[in-house]
A and B are shown apart, each in its own frame.
Chain A
Amino acid sequence: MAYDYEKSIRPGKLPHIWCPGCGHGIVMKGLIRAMDSCGLEKNNTALVSGIGCASRLPGYVDMCTLHTAHGRAAAFATGVKMAKPEMTVICLGGDGDGTAIGGNHFIHACRRNIDMTYVIMNNFIYGMTGGQFSPCTPTGMKASTTPYGNPDPTFDISKLAIGAGATFVARTTAFHATQIDKLIAEGIKHKGMAVIEVLDDCPTTYGRRNKFRSVVDMMKKLKENAVPVQAASKMTAEQLQGKFLTGVLYKEDKPEYIEQYAKVIAKAQGQAS
């Protein structure tokens, strides 16, 4: 039987703003299945996003939803989670939102290891504003502001998250649709900061300029270059050239921020040494 998305979508809020072939819709479906499989209650779940095409996602989903300002999702979400720890808090947004203007909030949320899940939709571009390069646009590629090819080096979002202290980090792609919900669900269940990077596509502003004229071409690229972490261990550096790893890249048990602050409260109230 086909999965019923309607029970999680807000009545009357579709159609969405995304272009035909945009990968963000695939991520939304994965997120909905993930939240469902974790049994999250609508009234007890906050979806917090920044600004961008990806960040429009919460408007469609029937949860407590907070569409903030460009780059600030993690900081708003930190306030929500601190003030109401019993809520499940999920951040959503694009590569530009999360790693450029919001990069500082992103790394500090990782460092605190606060119990949130951050789903970052990396389409390698600023989609909403018409395709300017982001910190994730591969070097040499074309964007509306890199007419001669992008001179900038790029961020590896997952490595950035691991380096900053996130305790669950996973990567998948819009092609691997069934893996999206599994990894997000694992991230939700993980106690601490979970980052799930989903590589997806923006046919309108990125594909168009970079010879992935069709969404199929982009999906093919995502499929061909994805290497599951298990398989990667048996591959040489040469074989891994130009590829990216998928699956759970990092997992660790470390003190979680809300629990740490609970100890502060206990101390302040004279209940602990």
Chain B
Amino acid sequence: MAKKVALLQGNEACAHGALYAGAKFFGGYPITPSTEVAEVLSIELPKVGGKFIQMEDEIAAMASIIGASLTGAKVITATSGPGVSLKQELIGYACIAEVPCVIINVMRGGPSTGMPTGPGQSDVMQARWGTHGDHAAIALVPASCQEIFTETVRAFNLAEKYRMPVQVLYDEIVGHMRERIVFPEPGELEVIDRAKPTVPPEQYKPYDTSFGDVPPLAAFGSEYRFHVTGLNKAQDGFPTTKAEYVDAEERRQISKVENEKARADIESNEEYLTEDAEVLIFAYGSTSRSARYAVNELRKEGIKAGLFRPITLWPFPEKRVALLGKQVKAIIVPEMNLGQMNLEVERVVKGTCPVISIGRVDGEPLNPGQIIAQVKEVK
């Protein structure tokens, strides 16, 4: 049987990816350029017995998905930068209480209302640090409509597997662009459900590390009964101020994502002509499309340019970028902000090569010409 093919907008692809992953609850608040995700899910979720609710604001939307997730549902919300700013306190809540959820951020410029209909990539640091306190972060940055579909599925998988919020960030260009999508067959992409407890109910502890760094999560309304709080807690889920518990729990919640094994599982990158590259372009999302074009043009002129494209932005691909930093003469970081990931690349290469930022925040896409010119300057 031929596969189902459609011409879909990035935002529509996201909604269909969520459905493929088994999403059963969406709580949101409208904001350009993300609204189509909500619109498609308002049609499709009730068809599969799922729930769609438009809440009174983004804080409420975030709260509703955390509440729904605690009943065992796979949950999602979609917004843009201003909405993520509002969600920040509860993103931290989902981190500390370890509640799986997916947050889509279709990025526009900023700060504040910025340019609602223009593209931006200015929330990449917000995705890493946007809540108070120390915490781990997982953020994925697809660059095409097909990839938005598959990365949304992967976001659900990672949220469920690591018991935490996962953000998918793409800019307005990819969100509103239409491309051909090949729908994966059921079973073709891996779909992961959270680990459920196997112990008898009276022995259940929601943060029981004897099951590893990611303890199984029971559901409200099942045979398990437990307490959830945003306070620092002991393994039984109840608040504690005991230094040793607080410290151990905080460190575990970060290491569950940043340990070697987890990183290898979560990280995902594409490398294009990096093997012999002398100048590396580090680019993600729609900017990586311009970068790829630039690499091809430069190669025609005999300039050995290569592209490193993170698909998982956080945790950051530290090891690989550090290695490439030793190989190339310079790394160029084009992005639709004023040098956010540039800072991270700089931090990781530790001065082994110059790191040059190309920032653009005027609401126009970053074009290949800008990148080509910059590469030629360092050559």
A contacts, CB < 8 Å to B:
10, 13, 42-44, 46, 48, 51, 58-59, 62-69, 72, 75-84, 86-87, 104-105, 108, 261, 264-265, 267-269
Contacts and interface: CB of A to CB of B under 8 A. Distances in A.
Nearest to A270: B47
Contact of B64 (A10, A13, A79, A267): A79
Is chain A's binding surface mostly helix, strand, loop or mixed? helix
Contacts of B70: 66, 79-80
Nearest to A258: B51
A82 B225 contact: no
A76 B64 contact: yes
20 contacts: A43-B224, A67-B228, A69-B90, A72-B60, A72-B90, A76-B64, A76-B67, A79-B67, A79-B70, A80-B67, A80-B220, A82-B25, A82-B53, A82-B68, A84-B220, A87-B71, A87-B220, A104-B56, A268-B43, A268-B46
Given A80-B70, A83-B51, A44 B64 contact: no
Contact of A65 (B66, B69, B227): B227
A48 B66 CA distance: 12
Contact of B59 (A66, A72, A79, A265): A72
A78 B55 contact: yes
Contacts of B239: 59
Contact of A108 (B25, B60, B228, B229): B60
A129 to B, nearest CB: 15
Given A13-B238, A59-B239, A108-B55, A86 B64 contact: no
A52 to B, nearest CB: 13
Given A69-B230, A84-B71, A104-B57, A46 B64 contact: no
Contacts of B231: 67
Contact of A84 (B59, B63, B221): B221
B277 to A, nearest CB: 47
B145 to A, nearest CB: 25
Given A79-B25, A83-B71, A84-B220, 8 more contacts: A46-B220, A66-B67, A67-B229, A75-B56, A75-B63, A78-B27, A79-B75, A82-B53
A81 B70 CA distance: 11
B221 A44 contact: yes
A87 B221 contact: yes
B27 to A, nearest CB: 6
Nearest to A48: B67
A269 B221 contact: no
Interface string B1-38: 00000000000000000000000110100000000000
A203 B220 CA distance: 36
Contact of B47 (A51, A68, A105, A268): A268
Contacts of B49: 265, 269
Given A64-B220, A79-B63, A83-B71, A105 B56 contact: yes
B93 interface: yes
Contacts of B228: 65-67
B225 A63 contact: yes
A86 B219 CA distance: 13
B30 to A, nearest CB: 15
Contacts of B43: 268
Interface residues of B, number: 44
Contacts, number: 134
B222 interface: yes
A84 B24 CA distance: 11
Nearest to B226: A64
A264 B43 CA distance: 10
B214 interface: no
Contacts of A43: 221-225
B196 to A, nearest CB: 15
Given A104-B56, A104-B57, A68 B230 contact: yes
Nearest to A88: B221
Interface string B66-99: 1111111101000000000000011001000000
B65 interface: yes
B197 to A, nearest CB: 14
Q: Which of B68, B72, B89, B239 has the most CB of A within 10 A?
A: B68
A83 B65 CA distance: 9
Contacts of A46: 220-221
A78 B255 CA distance: 32
A13 to B, nearest CB: 7
A104 B220 contact: no
A48 B230 CA distance: 12
Nearest to A262: B46
A105 B60 contact: yes
B195 to A, nearest CB: 19
Nearest to B224: A43
Given A75-B59, A104-B57, A269 B46 contact: yes
Contacts of B56: 75, 104-105, 108
Given A64-B221, A84-B221, A59 B229 contact: yes
Contacts of A77: 67
Closest 7 CB pairs of A and B: A79-B67, A79-B64, A75-B63, A268-B46, A83-B68, A75-B60, A79-B68
A72 B223 contact: no
Q: Which of A58, A86, A265 has the most CB of B within 10 A?
A: A265
A78 B26 CA distance: 12
Contacts of B47: 268-269
B58 to A, nearest CB: 10
A259 to B, nearest CB: 13
A79 B66 contact: yes
A72 B90 CA distance: 9
A227 to B, nearest CB: 34
Contact of A83 (B73, B225, B229): B73
B46 A265 contact: yes
Contacts of B61: 75
A44 B225 CA distance: 9
